[in-house]
Amino acid sequence: MQIIQTVSDLRKALKSQDSVGFVPTMGNLHAGHIALVEKAKQNANYVVASIFVNPLQFSPTEDLSTYPRTPKADYEKLKAAGCDIVFTPSVLEMYPDFDSKNLNQTMTIDPPPIANVLCGATRLKHFAGVATVVIKLFNIVQPNIAVFGKKDFQQLFIIKEMVRQFNLPIDIIAGETVREANGLALSSRNGYLTDAQRAKAGQLNSALQSIVSQIHNGNKAFIQLEQQTSASLSTQGWEVDYISIRSSKTLQPATTVDRNIIVLGAAKITNKTGGKTRLIDNIELCITD
Residue 55's identity, in one-letter code, is P
Residue 195's identity, in one-letter code, is D
- Is residue 54 a contact point for ligand PAF (CB under 6 A)? yes
CA distance 39 to 21: 9
Task: Tell me whether residue 27 or residue 183 sits nearer to ligand PAF (CB atom).
Answer: 27
- Is residue 44 a contact point for ligand PAF (CB under 6 A)? no
CA distance 110 to 72: 34
- Is residue 225 a contact point for ligand PAF (CB under 6 A)? no
User: Considering the complex, what minimum distance in angstroms separates the CB of residue 213 from ligand PAF?
Assistant: 29
Among 25, 132, 214, 277, binds ligand PAF (CB under 6 A): 25
- Is residue 152 a contact point for ligand PAF (CB under 6 A)? yes
CA 174 and chain centroid, separation: 11
User: Considering the complex, what minimum distance in angstroms separates the CB of residue 26 from ligand PAF?
Assistant: 4
Task: Tell me whether residue 188 or residue 230 sits nearer to ligand PAF (CB atom).
Answer: 188
Which of 7, 84, 16 has the alpha carbon at shortest distance from 46?
A: 84
CA distance 61 to 84: 36
Q: Where are the alpha helices (DSSP H) in 81-194?
A: 91-94, 119-122, 126-141, 153-165
**Which stretch in 20-28, 68-76, 211-219, 245-253 sits in contact with ligand PAF by CB under 6 A?**
20-28
Name every residue whose Cβ is closer than 8 Å to that of residue 181 and which is 6 or more positions away in sequence: none
- Is residue 24 a contact point for ligand PAF (CB under 6 A)? yes
Task: Tell me whether residue 144 or residue 187 sits nearer to ligand PAF (CB atom).
Answer: 187
User: Considering the complex, what minimum distance in angstroms separates the CB of residue 166 from ligand PAF?
Assistant: 16
CA 90 and chain centroid, separation: 21
Task: Tell me whether residue 68 or residue 237 sits nearer to ligand PAF (CB atom).
Answer: 68
Strand-strand pairing, 260-270 and 276-286:
antiparallel
Among 34, 47, 86, 134, binds ligand PAF (CB under 6 A): 134
Task: Tell me whether residue 134 or residue 162 sits nearer to ligand PAF (CB atom).
Answer: 134
- Is residue 133 a contact point for ligand PAF (CB under 6 A)? yes
Name every residue whose Cβ is closer than 8 Å to that of residue 143 and which is 6 or more positions away in sequence: 20, 21, 22, 44, 48, 170
User: Considering the complex, what minimum distance in angstroms separates the CB of residue 136 from ligand PAF?
Assistant: 10
Among 81, 130, 184, 240, binds ligand PAF (CB under 6 A): 130
Active site residue 33: yes
- Is residue 26 a contact point for ligand PAF (CB under 6 A)? yes
Which of 24, 21, 9 has the alpha carbon at shortest distance from 57?
A: 24
8 A C-beta contact, residue 189 and residue 267: no
Q: What amino acid positions are annotated as catalytic residues?
A: 33
Residues making contact with ligand PAF (CB under 6 A):
24-26, 54, 57, 130, 133-134, 152, 155
